[in-house]
Amino acid sequence: MSSETPTDAETACFEAGIKFGSLYHQFAGTPVSPESAPSLATAMAESIENQPHCREVTVDVRTDELEAALAESTADYTELTGRFLEVEIVVDYEGCTVVTRMEMEDGYPLMRLESVRE
């Protein structure tokens, strides 16, 4: 086991991963409709922004996908999954800024590291 201290960039990336894990697993399964999507997106962003080192969170609910899912259902709402979300999280740790995104790629809500600025 190495005794090296993580770099600020590594710690910032770790923090970003924690934020995505919290966001996704805290809200997955939440009932959502086209009418409630904007307030849910705001609640998600504001909730995650409370966490340490989080500078900015942007959550967009893909209402086109949401409406398409509801067109195949008799219900007025569905449960939130990654396919309905586009998210950007910016973390700042000790002057290192990490930008991360989640968006659909090949039918999967992929979370990725966009940039690291020291």
For the chain, the domains span: 8-117
Question: Is residue 69 pLDDT above 70, yes or no?
Answer: yes
4 is in an annotated binding site: no
Q: How confident is the model at residue 1 (pLDDT cuts 50, 70, 90)?
A: low
Query: What DSSP character marks residue 58?
Result: E
Question: Is residue 65 pLDDT above 80, yes or no?
Answer: yes
| Confidence (pLDDT) at 49 | 97
For residues 58-83, give the mean pLDDT: 96
| Confidence (pLDDT) at 3 | 75
Helical H segments across 29-115, by residue range: 37-49, 63-71
Query: For strand 54-61 and strand 85-93, is the pairing parallel, antiparallel, or unpaired?
Result: antiparallel
Q: Residue 117: beta bridge partners?
A: 97
Pick the CATH number of 8-117 from 3.30.1300.20, 3.40.720.10, 3.50.50.60, 3.20.20.60: 3.30.1300.20
Helical H segments across 2-110, by residue range: 8-27, 37-49, 63-71
CB-CB contact of 97 with 91 (8 Å) = yes
What percent of the chain has pLDDT above 90? 97
**Integer Cα distance of 34 and 57 in angstroms:** 21
Q: Token pair of 81, please?
A: 């999954």
Query: For strand 96-105 and strand 85-93, is the pairing parallel, antiparallel, or unpaired?
Result: antiparallel
Q: What confidence tens digit (pLDDT) does each residue in 88-115 have?
A: 999 999 999 999 999 999 989 999 999 9
1 is in an annotated binding site: no
